[in-house]
Structure 1
Amino acid sequence: MSNNSQYRITCLIADLTRSLGTIGVCMALLLAYPASAQWYESEGSAVIIGNNIERAKEQAVKEAVKSAVLFAGASISSVQQVENGTLTQDSISYQSNGELVGLEVLSYTTTDESVTARIRAEIFAEAQCTNSGLSHTLTIARFPLAHRQQAAHGGIYDIGGAVSKVMHSSFQETSTQVKSHLWLDEVLAYDPSQLTTIPEVDELARTLARRSNSQYVLVGQVRDISVSQEQSLNLKFWTYEPKPRSLSLELDLLDGMTGELVKRFRYRDQVLWDFPPEQVVDPFSADFWQSDYGKAWGQMLGDAQNDIETALSCTPSIANIINRKDAGVIVNMGAQDGIVRGQTAQLTRMTTFMDPFGKVKTSFDASSIELVVSAVEARQAYLTTKRSSDLANVSINDVVMFKALKPDW
């Protein structure tokens, strides 16, 4: 690096309090030439599950890289490259083909309950897309059990409801990119494995989105919560030792306007079930979520939230026109979604048609009509057309696509 390079050191202290944990982040940022890879230092923490320190180290490194990537403004997909690495002798060997150019683990700090990793990550923070900066709205439906009989061990028949509600709360409390408008406490007749063969899925997504004023719908299924059949009876002390128990989640993110699949997510893990076999456990209780099994679910839901945010990071923010009023229109996005007065949007025509297989499809055609936000409420906004004559060409069936705000500096 040239001696003429200019450096600026920025330290960011952030406490990100989640229902799933608290992560403390402190970063040192060195800025050299623009559009070049830069080194960032950050910390990440992870709880120790089942005395598995190596697993906690891997998770802590991943959290640290997430923090560095977000601070650098790069794509969060860089973090996924860490998952291809192998933790050996307190170092990460990794394969890089994106924004994450280099990674070095500086230190680990271990307590009785958690591991904190300090890392240096070399990140190429070239902007990947331009979006409106608004949050996307999401409805999460209760996740049914694929095999209800598996819940008999521990009596966790309501695990799907608990998992989906915790995810809803986490999006509400911690996400700036995706806001969960509703946790739908209903069991849907939906099987992710049959998504491509059920024509009713399109209408299901559109119906749920209309009910909740959401742009996206998340449906899923708790696929596997089986307990290992290994013999765990301790004959010497006549006591039971904890058995490994699976946790597997299948999620489908659906576009609420088109009904189409945006992305499919699959997660699987196995940790010890640390409750006596005869004990009935409430999956909504603190005892469950503070157990090793509950903590593993927490980590899995955290990964799912990050993946969903990544999937939607470059998608446009679209709002439905729900009413016409005076010289403007009302849309179903507001201050809670990041809408501010003066923000502009483009009118987009939404049309439906039947494809050759008999499925209803949706297309969006941008128009030349521009609108401006004149007033904002929590869940809706009032927009007027820049040219008053354009209002006659706006209908309730249309949508608006918001544009990115220009920074003040």
Structure 2
Amino acid sequence: MRTIGGLMLVMLAGHAQAQWYETTGQATIRNGDQAAARAQATEDAVKRALLFAGVSIRSVQQVTDGLLTQESTQVKSFGEIQQVQLVTERAHNGVFEVTIRADIFQTEPACPTLSYKKKLLITPFKLKLPEQAVVGELFELGKVSSKLFSDKLSEISQSSWPQPLNNPINGQNLSYQERQAVQQQYGARYILSATLDDVSLGETSGTNWQFWSNADRERFFHIEVALFDLVDERMVFQQKYQTSAIWSVRKSTALDPQYQRFWRSDYGKAAERILDAAVMDVEEAIRCEPLLADVKQVRQNQVLLSIGSAHGVKVGDSFTLIHRRELTDNFGHAQELLTVTPLVVKVTQLSHETAWAQSINHELLANIQAGDLASVAAQAETEENDSVFPEAQQ
């Protein structure tokens, strides 16, 4: 399957807070319209630059016939594009590619968790009405779409670490104990699910005088994407996306989504355009979400945390420790009570998904126990006197 590429190169500018970002955007050339594809590719490149710079973007899409016919991009006040330069542009294999260089200045610091990757579970997307997949044999469309979504998010994301799941999980239907079990098993707080609400065929388009083929018909691609927080039991993001395209394949012909032939069709291109828009919105929604780590072990003045280099953690990063208790409400449901402590620890050793951290004043962490939490305190600035920590015990 073709994935939309996005190269990012950062170069320091003259001002301490201004940086040049070089990004590449791509768009499919539809019906030979290179001008429209060029505009979409340029917009894609600018959005990628803003995402990499940590500037918040919220896009609103109204999708018709596989094209974003109306889109407004709002950039929050803590970032500003000083200048945009066109580096290269080209059309190749039905795709228009534009590389731009943008000078982006941040007037205020970004959210403290921006540089950390939050682990995000992606469940297989579901077909709401599987019988709609009979024509073309699109029964694997949900599963393949979720894998493509995960690949695209991995490519552009600065703030999430997607992990595809083989089995569907509906976070909203889980009990407190089940949500805890999922968090402990996968080390993830967020779960993304999606439903393909409509992949049906519409009315016949035009007249086909060729007796050996069927008349072209419109086909819909309606999808609802939901991002759920397992810890706070809340919906972080929920959005419906709709498009349609001409389905010119004979009724008896299979067009398996697992193969390139499907994604090169007009319908496949329209579906991929929708997935691109959803990926951008999910990345925007999760970028400033909190990062919480479980305390796995406590040894005197050290704790083992359930986050590591894969999450973007570095030696010297600081975390505040949080007590976690369970209370039972009047309805017999378990509820979580979090109490922030004044204790701050600094990371001393890293592995892929864990980190040893030590109290900054070497005091004992007697009141901290396995199961408590740690949240980002501040991005550590490495100083000479911070570079020496006693080795964490293994």
| Match status 1:227 vs 2:201 | yes
Summarize the Cα distance change of 1:322–1:30 in structure 2 as closer, same or farther, 3 Å threshold: closer
Q: Which moved more, 1:135-144 or 1:42-51?
A: 42-51
Partner SS, residue 393 of structure 1: coil
Match among 26, 46, 51 for residue 45 of structure 1 = 26
Summarize the Cα distance change of 1:314–1:63 in structure 2 as closer, same or farther, 3 Å threshold: same
1:178, CA displacement in angstroms?
A: 0.7
Partner of 1:405: 379
Matches of 1:202 and 1:67, distance apart in 2? 37
Summarize the Cα distance change of 1:406–1:333 in structure 2 as closer, same or farther, 3 Å threshold: closer
| Match status 1:334 vs 2:316 | no
| Match status 1:378 vs 2:352 | yes
Deviation per residue, 1:17-56 (Å, 9 max, x gap):
x961224679999878989xx9999763311245565753
| Match status 1:155 vs 2:129 | no
Preserved contact between residue 332 and residue 380 of structure 1 (Cα < 8 Å): yes
1:370, CA displacement in angstroms?
A: 0.9
Partner of 2:111: 130
Preserved contact between residue 50 and residue 292 of structure 1 (Cα < 8 Å): no
AA at the equivalent of 2:343: I
1:326, CA displacement in angstroms?
A: 6.3
Summarize the Cα distance change of 1:47–1:238 in structure 2 as closer, same or farther, 3 Å threshold: same
Matches of 1:340 and 1:141, distance apart in 2? 29
AA at the equivalent of 2:279: Q
Partner of 1:56: 37
Partner SS, residue 396 of structure 1: coil
Q: Which runs of 5+ in 1 are unaligned?
A: 1-17, 85-91
Q: Which moved more, 1:254-263 or 1:123-132?
A: 123-132
Preserved contact between residue 233 and residue 240 of structure 1 (Cα < 8 Å): no
1:387, CA displacement in angstroms?
A: 4.1
Partner of 1:22: 5
1:256, CA displacement in angstroms?
A: 2.4
Preserved contact between residue 41 and residue 98 of structure 2 (Cα < 8 Å): yes
Summarize the Cα distance change of 1:296–1:388 in structure 2 as closer, same or farther, 3 Å threshold: same
- Between the two structures, name the one with larger relative contact order (CA 8 Å, sep ≥ 6): 2
Q: Which runs of 5+ in 2 are unaligned?
A: 63-69, 384-394
1:221, CA displacement in angstroms?
A: 1.1
Deviation per residue, 1:219-238 (Å, 9 max, x gap):
22111111213256512554
Q: Which moved more, 1:289-298 or 1:277-286?
A: 289-298
Partner SS, residue 366 of structure 1: strand
| Match status 1:255 vs 2:229 | yes
1:372, CA displacement in angstroms?
A: 1.7
Matches of 2:117 and 2:214, distance apart in 1? 48
AA at the equivalent of 1:148: P
Partner SS, residue 369 of structure 1: strand
Preserved contact between residue 324 and residue 337 of structure 2 (Cα < 8 Å): yes
Matches within 5 A, 1:3-402: 20-23=3-6, 44-49=25-30, 51=32, 56-70=37-51, 73-77=54-58, 80=59, 98-99=76-77, 113-116=94-97, 125-127=106-108, 129-132=110-113, 133-180=115-162, 182-188=163-169, 190=170, 200=174, 205-230=179-204, 234-236=208-210, 238-325=212-299, 327-353=301-327, 360-402=334-376
Matches of 2:232 and 2:14, distance apart in 1? 43
Summarize the Cα distance change of 1:390–1:291 in structure 2 as closer, same or farther, 3 Å threshold: farther
Summarize the Cα distance change of 1:19–1:349 in structure 2 as closer, same or farther, 3 Å threshold: farther
Partner SS, residue 392 of structure 1: coil
Q: Which moved more, 1:43-52 or 1:95-104?
A: 95-104
Summarize the Cα distance change of 1:117–1:286 in structure 2 as closer, same or farther, 3 Å threshold: closer
Preserved contact between residue 140 and residue 183 of structure 1 (Cα < 8 Å): yes
Summarize the Cα distance change of 1:359–1:145 in structure 2 as closer, same or farther, 3 Å threshold: farther
Matches of 1:177 and 1:329, distance apart in 2? 24
Summarize the Cα distance change of 1:358–1:320 in structure 2 as closer, same or farther, 3 Å threshold: same
AA at the equivalent of 2:166: D
Matches of 1:201 and 1:273, distance apart in 2? 42
RMSD of the alignment, in Å?
A: 4.0
Deviation per residue, 1:206-252 (Å, 9 max, x gap):
44333211121112211111121325651255433543221122121
1:393, CA displacement in angstroms?
A: 0.9
Matches of 2:96 and 2:231, distance apart in 1? 43
AA at the equivalent of 1:22: G
Matches of 1:285 and 1:347, distance apart in 2? 48
AA at the equivalent of 1:268: Q
Summarize the Cα distance change of 1:233–1:239 in structure 2 as closer, same or farther, 3 Å threshold: farther
1:321, CA displacement in angstroms?
A: 1.2
Summarize the Cα distance change of 1:206–1:282 in structure 2 as closer, same or farther, 3 Å threshold: farther
TM-score normalised by structure 1 residue count: 0.75
* Percent of pairs with identical residues: 24
